[in-house]
Structure formats: C-alpha cells, structure tokens
Amino acid sequence: MGKYGDQDNRKRMAKVKTETVRPSDFRICFEPDTLLQTKGGATTAFIYWRFGSFCFPGPKWSDFVAVIPAWWIEALRKVDSTQTLRFMDGPYFMTTTRVGAADLKIDCYEDRADKGLVASYRVPLEGAPTT
C-alpha cells in the first residue's frame, strides 16, 4: 500500500466527497461468461464493485475470481473494524469502515503516486437497524 500523506494527495483526497448509495444501486459484479482458466490452473473473470453508475476498478476488470471474493468475505465479516479489501491484479484496493449502526463507508483507492483516493461511498447495511 502506498503512502497518501503528501500535500498533493491530501488536496486530491479532500476533493473526493462521500456519496450515499441505496442498497439497490450497490453490487459486487461477477460476469461468469468471461471465465478463463490459465495453463497454470488460475481462474479469472470480470469482477468489480458497482456504486450506482461508478464501477471500481472498472466495468471490465479481470481478476482472480476463486481467490479475492474469499478475501473480501473474510474481511467483511469483521464489519466493526476498518478492513482493507484488495484486488490481486493492479494497484487497486478499498477500505471499509462502519459508520454508526447502519452504514458502511467504502473508500476506493488507486495505489499510484498521482492517484490515491478515487471514490468514497456510504452504503446502508442490509438488515441493520435504521434511525
């Protein structure tokens, strides 16, 4: 994970506003028709997170679908503490932080010197009590 403490990155991150997304507009997308198995046995396919019309890392992101969903599930089981959700390919990751009793804040990062935080979303937790 890169360092995001430099002055330019702080300015960029300050410009990213947290948007609230309805549960119906939030999806973890997997496209089974794009499944490929490498000669070494690894399985990849398009997999990405959709927040309304924004796709992270992108709508045609291909990654290791037999591995990263298991990582994400394990991290999301610990919703009461900040977790990092990684992709295997590329410089992309997300952090999740519980906000109050009913919301999860998801920050999307591109781990490159000129990027940092690229998007931030607040998603209501399904089944959580609402106020």
- Whether 130 is in a domain gets the answer no
- Structural domain span for residue 76: 7-124
- Whether 131 is in a domain gets the answer no
Q: Encode 65-89: b = buried (16+ Cβ within 10 Å), e = exposed.
A: beebeebbeebeeeeeeebebbbee
Number of domains in the chain: 1
* Own/partner pairs, 3-6, CB within 8 angstroms, 24+ separation: 4/109, 4/116, 4/117
Reading the chain (131 residues) residue by residue, the pLDDT tens digits are 444 444 444 444 457 888 888 888 899 999 999 999 999 999 999 999 999 999 999 999 999 998 999 999 999 888 888 999 999 988 999 999 999 888 999 999 999 877 799 999 999 887 554 44
List the structure tokens of 43: 């399985």
- Whether 38 is in a domain gets the answer yes
- Whether 100 is in a domain gets the answer yes
How far apart (Å, rounded) are the C-alpha atoms in residues 55 and 61?
Answer: 9
- Whether 18 is in a domain gets the answer yes
